[in-house]
Structure 1
Amino acid sequence: MTRGPRRRPAAALLAAALVLVATVACARIPTDGAVRDGDTELENVSEIGYIPTGPAAGASPDQIVQGFLGVAQLGPTSTSAFTVAQEFLTPEAWEGWDRYARVLVLEEDPQVELEDIPADATEATVTATVRVVATLDERGMYTEAPKPSEQVVPFRLTREAGGEWRVAQLEDGLMLPTAFFGQAFHPTTLYFPTPDLTWWVPDLRWFPRQTWRTDATSEILAGPPDWLEDSTTTVIPEGTSLAIDAVTVTDDGTIDVSLTTTIAQASAEKRSLAVAQLQATLAEGEGRTVVLSDGNTPLTTAGTDALSVPRTSGDALAVTGGRVVRVQGGELAEPDVPLPLAGLDPTALATGPGDEPVVVRDGQERVVRVSGEGAPAVLISGTRLVPPSVDRFDGVWSAQGSQLFVALASGDVISLDVDWLSSRTIRSVRVSPEGARIAVVSSGPSGRLVHVAGVVRDAENVPTGLSAPVQVGASVRQVTQAVWQDQTVLALLGNEADGDGAVFLAGVGGLAGQGGLSRTVAGVTDPRWVTASVGTGAMLAVDGGATLYSRQSSALWSMVSEDVDLVAYPG
């Protein structure tokens, strides 16, 4: 007898493979004694716990695959889930399966289908059809797909001597729907110091929740990713690794990091920076302190000033009625010193930290400094120059075609040749607050793309080039502008599926929530310009009717003023 193909929508994949237990930590309810007023506070309900279950006797091949997928999803969150997942596989398949080689982030649960097989078959093939919206590599680096792509993932099963089906061959990695990805993987910001040891450069990764501190420490020891390698430095001696494959947190909040003896080669000052680096990465809030040890011996450190995390410094400026004003507390205010715009046609605005320098794009042919002695002064000339950006070294960035220009504080103008931009037209540039990264919007044969690259600088902090980039916000259509909204988040001006303009948030390495995917920030119709403040979550947007709107943190947009032409936070 032949069994026909069965396609099982795995919408209840977890329910089919698990028993859910809601765990509630609360005070004990007395069962005897006198009635009295209660003074015990109940703790909040904790996360939902999952109890994985193994294969049922007599399960069909598709049921085995379905059960395995459901249990494997829990592996990053449960110490026992992968032990149960092993029961669905043959010993050889279990030994050969690299569970974290890749993670496919899915639009929805897999659709599991069994091929036609005779009743007495000893082998079978089951396929899982999935729609992939993002991927995660073995180092926890997240990449969003431009659009969902359908993939067919095969599983080969064999019938064992006892008559039970088991998976004998499968591809490496995990598959998780977006709804569960954020529960299984912990978004973790690694920090690497700038070469001048004054700022932290953030790098967002995703690690299994059960082991995220251990994995994050291993990646810190491995050094920055390729795209940040020449924009950051390391204070940990090469070859240093974890002495034991675990980073533990004690009851008093101490984070114990035990490293191999190589760490002793670092000076006390560099060990202090290493502790600060691990503290910034692992602590997550108050009350936890990193203690570094060489094996079992705590290491001495020297006091060091804390490095700064990326943060916008200063108020936003706006252009209205032919003059520059300050945006303060949802209102417009006159600046301390008037800035001359007479004779200029301001089409874009930028400012550095502390309002210096303040520059405008004059038409599309010039970038002009309108603050300081001798203003106005032409910094960059060209045709179709993109809106400028100012870095923390007072360097003013713009571009023409595929060419990047930087007007230095010294007055010199340099041009950067970037290989990956050679066949593209730059539309927008924005340097991050610490000056180590740049967001670039460009158009070319592959369409409109957003990239983030490392800024390579010489010993005098003069830019000399850009690293190979990472793509960000791949699912956002027709992006015209990108600005830094948070340490590893960009605010993008792009289009919805229906063609209407909108503001989006996109993570450099994924966005916390919604499976790491980019998302719309609703509330402004027909936005034409957006700017943001790193560290506060504040954003400002100007719509097609020249109305300025403000959004503080995650609050709704509110109107600030009408007849506003341009607006810009420092950066």
Structure 2
Amino acid sequence: MSIGSSKLTRTGAALLAVLLVLLTSCAQIPRSGPVGKSTDESAGNPKNAPVFFPSAPRPGAGPETVIEDFYLAGSGYEDDYAVARQYLTQASSVTWKPDQRALVFRSARVVPTGVDNVFNYELDLAYTVDADGIATQLPEGTKENIPATLTQVDGQWRIAEIPDGTAIPEETFKVIYGAYPIYFYDPTFTYAVPDIRWFIAKKTVKAMTSALLGGPAPYLKGAVVSAFPSGIRLARESVPVVSGAAQVDLTAKDLVEASNEDRLRMQTQLALTFRSQPDVINVELRANQDLVRVEDNGSVLPPIRDTNVPSHQIAVSNNDLVRYENNRISPLQDIQSVSALAPRAPAESPRSQSAAFLDAARTTLYSIVPGQPARALSTRASLTRPSFDRYDWVWTAGPGASGATEVIAYRPAGVAEAAPVPAVTLAPTWLAGRTIKEFRVSREGARALVITEQNGKTRVQVTGVVRAADGTPKDLTAPMTLLTSRGADQGVWVDDTTVAVMKGSAGESVTPELLSLASATPQQLAPWPGLTALSAGNGPEEIFAQSADGIFQRLGNGWSPQLKGPIDPSFPG
């Protein structure tokens, strides 16, 4: 006998219905009122967070049913998965570690292996979540087998061997888990960089703290820094919230020996991370339960979160660079005309008056600064539209001399007219065999959106930007992948956790999508005919698109016509 996916879907739907009933009774979370003591488990979280009440083992159930019911019971995290442990032998109940990994599946079935009492739980995975809450999205059709060995205990089948972790239906996962940003710093401690993690919604304060101490996700390693030294850990396995204060008890030596500046940055990093927790008002650092004083003498400025860009855009009108703002165009101050170069796809620095653009063939990158003529920076078979970072480096990508894809960056600001422009060429191994369609640096400069194509298939990814102490780019980290419901060949940052992407087409209706680092489900925007370019300011309401009929701004569930004439608008960055 095997358990088909249709039966599992019905079971998951029933459990979800129970959860929805629970959720309707706690739609709003109060953020005011009396504050008192809170238990470690629910500290900083809604008291009525959804909870599963799984069934205990059924007498006489066969091995396949025991496996299926065990994993359904794995959604009941209360009392350290007490019900799920009833499906295990006494020995495996002691050793099984459910928090090590969560496998989130679209469908599942139990399959005999041909070995007595050994079965595989065959999953079609949607994503995996590791012990630190790092989620990896997986395309449909990704399979994984979980081996399970059963034995009889007092005449009842129980699981004797099972890997650590749980397996959860996708519908269930979306209800009991939540996406939460933990925060790191850019290397200058000026900006806060979100690192999205997934935790059970009733266990977040302690989970967030442990994840923060463990360091950034792999794609951010080397691109961000933490105020917490490597090796520092919690002195006790809980983070209680008492009268609104999250008491973070750390190993004494690391905390006491840290400077006041470092302790203030630690406290700030935790406070940013706990912003999503309604019961947490402030953070106390403790060393083996003793309160550690942190003096805020003004020497450390709080980091900037969700960096804004200026409200104007750079565009091309009458074959020259212009400023586009409030549905009007005006000249760029102190910038010479570049009409002879037929500019396209312009970019403007968020930090200085530097600008960059491609020629009409998109094979040459030019830069221009006030008081100087435009200069050619690179000529290649093809180039992506330029993107400035906050360090004044302008980025593009294209094939190198060998034909392999390279990412190149130049820093034209402050360079004399006859002097060479500083340049960096990066060719990370993960780009081998791919063609870059889009490369856009995030507003804080620690990440970049990369859209690539290989064998006709596109991937939307986010990579970390590793820099030298002066901001010079050094490397790009192995990226994380965002799933889209359709192909994409261009994209822009909308805020610090959201990008807008689309596959442009002058002759067809185009549906842009919002991809959030905090959601596995793309949000489709209204389709519009002939969209060929995207730009975005500060937030989802400041998304602009271009077609042959002019520029359009997103308005609710549609698009509002703007000025006709300018092309290729782009916000600074």
- Report the TM-score, using the length of structure 1 for normalisation: 0.83
What CA deviation, in whole Å up to 9, does each residue of 1:26-62 have, x standing for no partner?
A: 9xxxxxxxxxxxxxxxxx9965543233122233333
Residue 32 of structure 1 is matched in structure 2 by none
More off after superposition, 482-491 vs 317-326:
317-326
2:251 alignment partner AA: T
Contact 2:504 2:530 in 1 (8 A): no
- Provide the secondary structure at the position in 2 that maps to 1:216: helix
Contact 2:74 2:168 in 1 (8 A): no
Cα distance between partner residues in 1 of 2:248 and 2:338: 56
Contact 2:384 2:396 in 1 (8 A): yes
- Of 543, 551, 555, 2:554 maps to 551
More off after superposition, 263-272 vs 8-17:
8-17
- Of 486, 493, 513, 1:484 maps to 493
Cα distance between partner residues in 2 of 1:103 and 1:272: 34
- The total of aligned residue pairs comes to 529
1:465-504 aligned within 5 A: 465-467=475-477, 469-475=478-484, 477-494=486-503, 501-504=510-513
Shift of 1:231: 2.0
1:540 alignment partner AA: F
2:502 counterpart of 1:511: no
Residue 237 of structure 1 is matched in structure 2 by 229
1:284-295 aligned within 5 A: 284=276, 288-295=281-288
Change (3 A) 1:494 1:180: farther
2:481 counterpart of 1:453: no
Change (3 A) 1:224 1:47: closer
Shift of 1:263: 1.0
Cα distance between partner residues in 1 of 2:504 and 2:168: 28
Cα distance between partner residues in 1 of 2:147 and 2:114: 14
What CA deviation, in whole Å up to 9, does each residue of 1:428-481 have, x standing for no partner?
A: 2111111111222233469433332222222221222223x2232245554312
Residue 53 of structure 1 is matched in structure 2 by 55
Cα distance between partner residues in 1 of 2:566 and 2:74: 54
Cα distance between partner residues in 2 of 1:541 and 1:17: 42
Contact 1:311 1:535 in 2 (8 A): no
2:77 counterpart of 1:70: no
Change (3 A) 1:529 1:244: same
- Of 299, 302, 305, 2:301 maps to 305
RMSD between aligned alpha carbons?
Answer: 3.3
2:162 counterpart of 1:170: yes
Contact 2:465 2:476 in 1 (8 A): yes
1:120-159 aligned within 5 A: 124-159=117-152
Cα distance between partner residues in 2 of 1:314 and 1:301: 35
2:425 counterpart of 1:425: no
Cα distance between partner residues in 1 of 2:540 and 2:353: 21
Shift of 1:105: 2.0
1:547 alignment partner AA: G
Task: Report sequence identity in percent.
Answer: 25
Contact 1:405 1:413 in 2 (8 A): no
Contact 2:504 2:533 in 1 (8 A): no
Contact 2:458 2:487 in 1 (8 A): yes
1:172 alignment partner AA: D
Change (3 A) 1:15 1:399: closer
- Of 345, 349, 371, 1:348 maps to 345
Residue 530 of structure 1 is matched in structure 2 by 534
Shift of 1:101: 3.0
Cα distance between partner residues in 2 of 1:221 and 1:47: 25
1:56-455 aligned within 5 A: 56-75=58-77, 79-80=78-79, 82-108=81-107, 110-112=108-110, 124-161=117-154, 163-251=155-243, 253-261=244-252, 262-284=254-276, 288-303=281-296, 304-315=300-311, 316-328=313-325, 331-334=327-330, 337=333, 340-353=337-350, 356-363=353-360, 364-370=362-368, 372-401=370-399, 402-408=405-411, 409-411=413-415, 412-420=421-429, 421-444=431-454, 447-455=457-465
Cα distance between partner residues in 1 of 2:301 and 2:268: 9
Shift of 1:341: 4.2
Shift of 1:246: 1.2
The runs of 5 or more residues in structure 2 that have no matched partner are: 28-45, 400-404, 416-420
Cα distance between partner residues in 2 of 1:349 and 1:107: 43
2:460 alignment partner AA: V
Cα distance between partner residues in 2 of 1:418 and 1:206: 32
Contact 2:406 2:426 in 1 (8 A): yes
- Provide the secondary structure at the position in 1 that maps to 2:203: helix
2:543 counterpart of 1:539: yes
Contact 1:384 1:400 in 2 (8 A): yes
Shift of 1:506: 3.0
1:391 alignment partner AA: D
- Report the TM-score, using the length of structure 2 for normalisation: 0.82
What CA deviation, in whole Å up to 9, does each residue of 1:480-531 have, x standing for no partner?
A: 12322221333222489xx974322334xx432xxx2444334334432222
Contact 1:356 1:394 in 2 (8 A): no
2:533 alignment partner AA: W
Contact 1:17 1:67 in 2 (8 A): no
Contact 2:99 2:165 in 1 (8 A): yes
Cα distance between partner residues in 2 of 1:74 and 1:62: 20
Cα distance between partner residues in 1 of 2:80 and 2:286: 32
Shift of 1:417: 3.0
Cα distance between partner residues in 2 of 1:386 and 1:336: 23
More off after superposition, 266-275 vs 381-390:
381-390
1:493 alignment partner AA: M
- Provide the secondary structure at the position in 1 that maps to 2:206: helix
Change (3 A) 1:377 1:417: closer
Change (3 A) 1:564 1:447: same
1:139 alignment partner AA: D
Contact 2:449 2:460 in 1 (8 A): yes
- Of 8, 11, 23, 2:9 maps to 11
1:460 alignment partner AA: D
1:352 alignment partner AA: S
Contact 1:231 1:457 in 2 (8 A): yes
What CA deviation, in whole Å up to 9, does each residue of 1:208-260 have, x standing for no partner?
A: 22322212212222223343332222322332111111112234x22221111
Residue 35 of structure 1 is matched in structure 2 by none
Cα distance between partner residues in 1 of 2:194 and 2:226: 13
Shift of 1:284: 1.9
Shift of 1:406: 1.4
2:406 alignment partner AA: Q
Change (3 A) 1:182 1:249: farther
Change (3 A) 1:439 1:48: closer
Residue 39 of structure 2 is matched in structure 1 by none
Contact 2:180 2:518 in 1 (8 A): no
Cα distance between partner residues in 2 of 1:324 and 1:427: 23
- Provide the secondary structure at the position in 1 that maps to 2:491: strand
Cα distance between partner residues in 1 of 2:51 and 2:453: 47
